[in-house]
Structure 1
Amino acid sequence: MKRFLLGLFLFQLFTFAANAQIQKGSIMLGGNLNYMNSSSNSNSNISSPSTVNSTTDGKSNSFTFNPKVGFTLSNNWVVGPMLILSSSKGTSESNWLSGSNSITDYTTTKNSSFGAGAFARKYIQFSDNFSAFGEVNATLNNRKEYRSSENSSQFEEAENKFNEIQGSIQAGLAYFPKNWIAIELSANILQYSHYGQNRDTELQDFETNQNSFGFNLNASAINLGVSFFLNNK
């Protein structure tokens, strides 16, 4: 009897969650933001006087923003198009000392990406103001990579452009101070990306294919967002 009542309670709770908060016909306007503050690190390699000693200092920062427009096809189910814009920059300085000879290397890396795709999201309400949600999305991105390296004797730079297919599974928590606005905290718990490239130059012809899949359990995978629900009662 207790199991039956517990099962009935869970069924009613799920039924309530599936028919509350976000109503069919609502339009969602929102997006996620992720910004990692500049970080610095240093390391040194000090060995015997007859070998090379080195020290390295580096800084990096990254920014990601993905605006979305969602259409509520049924209660608590939202689907629609999305954009993704991201950029990152890193700099490092390395000092090499061997005897009386000293060399300083300066390295700069820059990455930027712009893409478009689609998403599907399911909300599950567990209190008057809080809901959990899961999301699946996929985008096609145009990505650029730049790297330069400089010291007292030479300067080198390289730039690379390619298209990338990316998909992720997100889990998040939404706080509704009002029915028409939600403050969201989410994380990309699973992510997949693929890109392929063929390049012909005067010196060589090469092909690159790269696939990556993994769990994101660090601060760079956490996003803060705000969503507005038009016509939500």
Structure 2
Amino acid sequence: MKKMLVMAALAICSFANAQKGTILVGGNIGYTSEKSEFRFRDDKASTFTFSPKVGYQFHENWTVGGEFSLSTSDIDNTDVKRKDNKFRTGGFVRYTKSLSQTFSVFADMGVGFQTEKNKIYTNANNYVRYKGDGAYVDVTPALFINMKKGFGLNFSIGGLGYETLSFDDNGEDYSNFYFNFGKTFNIGISKNF
């Protein structure tokens, strides 16, 4: 599937290149779904994510800007149902290296604030709420395929990062270092104006 998407994008590419002094608008929309069965228990999880960003390309290779992300997750197993909502806002720096007028590789480094709200339902339809605040930093390498006049597709297969969350009301504090390179696949769009 991944190879088909790349080949389809290559088939309709034309030649143009982002230039110094342009505005970058882009983002990703993602959906994941998992189901696992273990003895007498079925677990299901689904997540939807929307992540736009806007930046200013102040140099041929460098862009700086702001980003935010909204995600919602539903987790359902035989004992508990859970709904998580996460919001991130921060800034990013992008270094881009042009390979040709059609292809570029880039790396985004994002840093910012995040908040998460969890609602956990028990079998009796009672629920417990948790709210946590924290910070994040991540680095994501990606490939840009220029389709026409600065409009293109972004492909990434993960990255690395660190995040923290401190929960209110006796919730546990959370910190996580992750390296998911090769474990995820994201497609996004972007346009330079």
TM-score w.r.t. structure 2 length?
Answer: 0.84
How many angstroms apart in 2 are the aligned matches of 1:59 and 1:212? 22
- Alignment gaps of 5+ in structure 1: 1-19, 45-54, 94-104, 200-205
- Equivalent in 100, 116, 120 of residue 143 of structure 1: 116
How many angstroms apart in 1 are the aligned matches of 2:168 and 2:30? 32
Within the alignment, does 1:90 sit opposite 2:75 as a pair? yes
How much has 1:198 moved relative to structure 2?
4.8
The answer to whether the Cα contact below 8 Å between 1:168 and 1:188 also exists between their aligned partners in 2 is: no
Output the amino acid matched with 1:210.
Y
- Equivalent in 166, 175, 178 of residue 196 of structure 1: 166
Structure 2 SS opposite 1:74 = coil
The answer to whether the Cα contact below 8 Å between 1:173 and 1:184 also exists between their aligned partners in 2 is: yes
How many angstroms apart in 2 are the aligned matches of 1:194 and 1:173? 28
Higher strand share: 1
When residues 65 and 155 of structure 1 are mapped into structure 2, their CA distance, relative to the original with a 3 A threshold, is closer
When residues 198 and 60 of structure 1 are mapped into structure 2, their CA distance, relative to the original with a 3 A threshold, is closer
When residues 207 and 145 of structure 1 are mapped into structure 2, their CA distance, relative to the original with a 3 A threshold, is closer
C-alpha root-mean-square deviation of aligned residues, in Å?
1.9
How many angstroms apart in 2 are the aligned matches of 1:28 and 1:40? 37
Q: Which has the larger radius of gyration?
A: 1
How many angstroms apart in 2 are the aligned matches of 1:108 and 1:208? 19
How much has 1:166 moved relative to structure 2?
1.1
The sequence identity of aligned pairs, in percent, is 28
When residues 64 and 222 of structure 1 are mapped into structure 2, their CA distance, relative to the original with a 3 A threshold, is same
- Equivalent in 19, 30, 37 of residue 42 of structure 1: 37
How much has 1:71 moved relative to structure 2?
0.1
- Alignment gaps of 5+ in structure 2: 1-15
Q: Deviations over 1:154-200 (max 9, x none)?
A: 5542110121211110010010011320100123311110122453x
Equivalent residue, structure 2, for 1:210:
174
Equivalent residue, structure 2, for 1:14:
none
Give matches, 1:57-206, under 5 Å.
Answer: 57-93=42-78, 105=79, 107-150=80-123, 154-199=124-169, 206=170
Equivalent residue, structure 2, for 1:222:
185
Output the amino acid matched with 1:141.
Q
Instruction: Work out the number of aligned pairs and report it.
Output: 178
When residues 218 and 30 of structure 1 are mapped into structure 2, their CA distance, relative to the original with a 3 A threshold, is same
How many angstroms apart in 1 are the aligned matches of 2:129 and 2:82? 10
How many angstroms apart in 1 are the aligned matches of 2:101 and 2:48? 33
Output the amino acid matched with 1:222.
F
Q: Deviations over 1:107-149 (max 9, x none)?
A: 2111111221100111111123111111100121221011112
Equivalent residue, structure 2, for 1:97:
none
The answer to whether the Cα contact below 8 Å between 1:69 and 1:81 also exists between their aligned partners in 2 is: yes
